Amino acid sequence: MDQAFRELKAKVQDRKAILVVGTGISVASVAAEQRGLAGWPGLLRHGVEHAANLDPTFAADSDKVLARLGSPPTLDRLLTVASEVERVLTRANRFGSWIEQTAGALTVAEPSLIAALGRFNCPILTTNYDTLIEEVLGRQRVTWKQTTQALAALRGDKPHVVHLHGSHMEPDTVILGDGSYARVANDAPMQALYGAMSAMGTLVFVGCGAAGLTDPDLGLVFRRFAAHFPDSLHSHFLLVRDGEGTADLPQSVRPIYYGPDYDDLRPFLDWLAEPGDGPPPAKARLTPSASVVPPTLPVRRAPDLPPVPDHFIGRESEVKRVVAALAAGGHVLFQGAPGIGKTSLCTAALHEPEIAARYQDRRWFARLEAATEPLSFFAAIGEAIGLGPTERTRPSVLYHLNEWAGPRPALLVLDNLETPRDRDPEGIADALAHLKDIAGLTIAASLRGTAVPHSVAWQRVEPLDRLPDPYDRELFLTLTQKPKLAEAPELPLLLTALEGLPLAIRLMARQAAKYPLPLLWELWQEQRTALLKSGDSRETNLAVCIELSIASNAMDGKAKSLLRIMGLMPNGVARAELRHVAPHGREAAGTLVEIGLAAWSADQTRLVQLAPIREHVRLNHRPPEKLLEPVLKWAIDLARLGDKIGKKGGAEAVAKLTPEARNLESFLSMAMEGRDKLRERAIVAADDLAKFARQTGVFDAIPLMRSAAACTANPVRRANCLMSLGRLAEVRSRLSEAETALQQAITLFRQTSTRLGEAHCLYFLGSIFGLRSDFGNATAVLSQALDIYHAEPDRLGQANCIFKLGELGRMRALLPQAKEAYQNALLQYQHVDVDDDVGQGNCIFGLGAINRDSSRFDEAAKAFWRALPLFRQAGNRVGEANCLHSLGDVDHLRSRHEQAKSAWLQAVPIYRQVGNLLGQANCLHGLAYHALETADPPQAARLAGEALALLPESEYPATHAAIHVLHGDIAVAAADWPAAAEHFQAALDLFARTEDIDNAGEAHRGLGDVAFGQGDTTVAISQWSQALELFARIPAPHLMAPVHQRLARVTTEDDQAQHLATARAMWTEIDLPHRLRELDDEFGPPA
């Protein structure tokens, strides 16, 4: 055995050794999660971050302080950092609590090393602040201040543990940095203790740092008190792991290498305690081995990743873009509104095969929703990468990421980065800068809003948008596992209300498990976003998710004001109107976008919100009256533009009102519930806005006008509201509701002797009676209205009545009288005092309809094209759709089937927009004939069925008659004679109510087709002859010629020649040469 081993063992066994225990013993004795705090570097890192939270000035330089630790840390750097920590914490009066929270929190998990030291029966000194040795050995603690007891322990008289640098139990004894040492350097107890150490025996240093004397615990002993340790007095020993540096050891300190692994220390200590001269363990050496094995890092656990999101639907393209960016090693930023699916997108990308193969077990997912500053930011990352609670400090996290990400690529996901970013933008920007400098580390971050942390060169994935149809429907049905709900009429209503927000759809699907969909829709209308919760976290409660954004530090008073106002604006805010709707609205808009509570529209002209976010704000953050009143006045003034609709300048008014219509509806409804003066102004404005809604169909103003009628105590104003309500209901084909409102208005106008108001209502009643084919009552009330207009006088009212009487004439096939009425009305409308574009358009359209019914197709088309721009410049959408529909009719009559179809398809969405069911039914009627004529009877039958279902027969008998004729023709094409006869007879029966010669003639023509198909030529001739008589009353060559052609098939040779000659003359007259060719193909050319 070498002399050094023999000397060391003798000193220990003869109790002439003094054990000096360092932090390495504490590190080995505590659980893994506490090892960071047990060692000096980890303790200092914790101290720096704790001090940074207390002192903003220090926080600004904390990274520089941490940088002084270096890698590996040197003694000078450690002492410098220790001094900074001690200074800040002492000044904040937090030093004692901090040392108790760190060193005082350590507990023994593995006592074997400390127990082995206890077997020596030697005095024990420690540089540690913890009391783990006392806990294991049952010894008493004394500090350097307790001189008598400490000296007794050094002599071996008392089994105490002497704390050279103090204990957490007595914070005033703790020596950390230069500041505390300066206070005690000349202290008599300290001088006495170190003098006794130098004189009483051999010091054996155990667990005194991985880098030898660079640990301040050991370095302080030799550097500051070297005068007490002359090299010639005693030899001292340092037990060190083979491979650790010992170049800085004083000459009097001899290293003993107990083995290459930390686990080799325990066998060496056991050998020292054993009596006898047995050789030391085989791994023990007096000189280091040639190959140095570095200490290993803590074992990295498998990544604790969130599972693959269930039912991640409709985001395939987004996932592909993210995967491509991550596979290339770029730092990726996911942005979007609350609840839009950013976390799900991150998680889905993490589990993609390409990403899993590239990053393997170096994929980490850090949840930052609870992180409020850099300290908790790094703590969350530390938890994600598998560090223990006491190791989750900034330096430790950066160190481990450097070690683990360096050799191979690694991916760190920072979920909900906005939480720490909003609270400490500069601190988090700096933290991100350190993370992005780690070689091999890719960062992916989810962030609400649009603000970008500029310390990283991000590859920004296009912000997530709402989940579009049909994916929102698919997600809902998949989550509910109730495919039959796809047929529920409430489903599209719910999905429209949720506006594609994935979190809202998921939470609504959970509610659908508890309630039938009709009830769920009722609950939504009552509770709105309060219904969207199944827990109290951001993943299970939409309100919590949204409130996290509202609570952002970036949300200042200006942004909060705009947010409150936007909660009342379904259409968002026009960029040009921001300054009108909220104080400092333009500046506030940027904040809301940055936070993610609003976004700019695709054309950058409007600031908008997703519906669930807006509903939550509306219900929970209503603006105070002081903030709301200017907006209400702005809305009232803007809504008054509705009075221009139908006149010159109407198109400009439509352009201004269309994007604001639903906002104005919301504000006017609120204003009508408020103070009297503002309420009455709002009621007048609502009437003007209703004119806009009636002409354009941008929104359904019926609920608004019901509220207006109920809010006012002024009988004339109430009558005007009821009249407006009646007109709205008529346009939307709700004739009974329209009649009721108009009759109520007439009563009020008569009670207040408001003659013009009464006349207006009588005129509108005449229109309703006309739609019902009740021509007697229609003529009577129009005549009454005309008398009042003459008496007042009112030129526009007169023109309207004359026009409407012309309409009645055209419906009854009294075309000369109708034409005269249209021409007279047109002159009135063109009068300088009237100048009504819609009136002029209606008259020109009526003249076109007469030409169409009379087979003058060129003149008809010219009239419709002439009327179309008048309706458009006046903003009259119904008139526009009527022109398109009628142009389709003309093309159909000319057998231009594709052009007809195109025109009808243009008209249908306009009719739908304005809610005009009659127009929709007429277009479907035409499209069904197109399908029939292009050999698609099933499609024709489907369209005819849809048309028939739109309108009640009692309200629209003429339209029902036309659709019955259509059904009859479809049945004829299928040779279903009984069904055809039933439909044609139904149409004929309606003629008694409608006086509709056109459809009555078509019904007789159809019954003749049925008889001919069944081989009964006598009945066929009779029915076709009746049809001819009716068509001749119009007259309508395009209807008469096909009947003559039919009669030519069943009559005698002379009669056949006459019918063919007449048919040829009519087809020639109306310029339809293809019809002549069809005639020649069937019967041969004329002789």
Digit-coded pLDDT (tens) for 956-1014: 888 888 999 999 999 999 999 999 999 999 988 887 777 778 888 999 999 999 999 99
Asked if 41 and 304 count as a contact pair (C-beta separation under 8 A), the reply is no
User: To which CATH superfamily is domain 625-753 assigned?
Assistant: Tetratricopeptide repeat domain (1.25.40.10)
Digit-coded pLDDT (tens) for 887-906: 999 999 988 999 999 999 99
Q: Which residue has the tokens 């500041």?
A: 179
The domain defined by 555-623 carries CATH number 1.10.10: yes
Task: Give the integer Cα–Cα distance in Å for 22 and 244.
Answer: 15
Q: Model confidence at 832, in pLDDT bands (50, 70, 90)?
A: low
What average pLDDT does the segment 1065-1082 reach? 89
pLDDT above 80 for 35: yes
Digit-coded pLDDT (tens) for 493-540: 999 999 899 999 989 998 888 889 999 999 888 888 888 887 777 778
- Residue with the larger pLDDT of the pair 224 and 408: 408
Task: Give the integer Cα–Cα distance in Å for 1016 and 141.
Answer: 125
CATH, domain 316-460, list 3.40.50.620, 3.40.50.300, 3.40.718.10, 3.30.499.10: 3.40.50.300
pLDDT above 70 for 708: yes
Digit-coded pLDDT (tens) for 240-270: 887 665 655 666 778 888 888 878 899 999 8
Closest CA to 874 of 909, 906, 853, 845: 845
What average pLDDT does the segment 362-391 reach? 86
Backbone phi and psi for residue 834, each to the nearest 5 degrees, phi listed first: -105, -60
Phi-psi region of 335 (alpha: psi -120 to 50; beta: other; left: phi over 0): beta
Q: What is the mean pLDDT of the chain?
A: 86
- Coil, strand, or helix at residue 1050? helix
pLDDT of residue 303: 62
| CATH dotted code for 3-33+108-273 | 3.40.50.1220
Q: Which CATH architecture has domain 956-1087?
A: Alpha Horseshoe (1.25)
pLDDT of residue 922: 92
pLDDT above 50 for 224: no
Token couple for 639: 């809504």
pLDDT of residue 233: 58
pLDDT above 60 for 209: no
The sign one gets for the Cα dihedral 576, 581, 585, 591 is: negative
- Residue with the larger pLDDT of the pair 678 and 185: 678
DSSP conformation letters of 183-236 = HHTT-HHHHHHHHHHHHH-EEEEES--TTGGGSHHHHHHHHTTGGG--TTT--E
Digit-coded pLDDT (tens) for 904-939: 999 999 998 888 889 999 999 999 999 998 888 889
Burial label for 357, CB within 10 Å (0-12, 13-18, 19+), is exposed
Q: Model confidence at 295, in pLDDT bands (50, 70, 90)?
A: very low
Of 68-82, 263-277, 339-353, the range with the lowest mean pLDDT is: 68-82
pLDDT of residue 954: 74
- Coil, strand, or helix at residue 443? strand
Task: Give the integer Cα–Cα distance in Å for 500 and 610.
Answer: 8
Q: What is the pTM of this model?
A: 0.60
pLDDT of residue 293: 42
pLDDT above 70 for 231: no
Q: Model confidence at 294, in pLDDT bands (50, 70, 90)?
A: very low
What average pLDDT does the segment 717-725 reach? 95
Q: Model confidence at 179, in pLDDT bands (50, 70, 90)?
A: low
Token couple for 1047: 């009669």
The CATH fold assigned to 862-951 is 1.25.40
Task: Give the integer Cα–Cα distance in Å for 961 and 991.
Answer: 8
Closest CA to 333 of 422, 420, 440, 453: 453
pLDDT of residue 250: 66
**pLDDT more than 70, % of the chain:** 92
pLDDT above 80 for 128: yes
Digit-coded pLDDT (tens) for 1008-1034: 999 999 999 999 999 999 999 998 888
pLDDT of residue 213: 41
What average pLDDT does the segment 686-690 reach? 94
Beta carbons within 10 angstroms of residue 267's beta carbon: 17
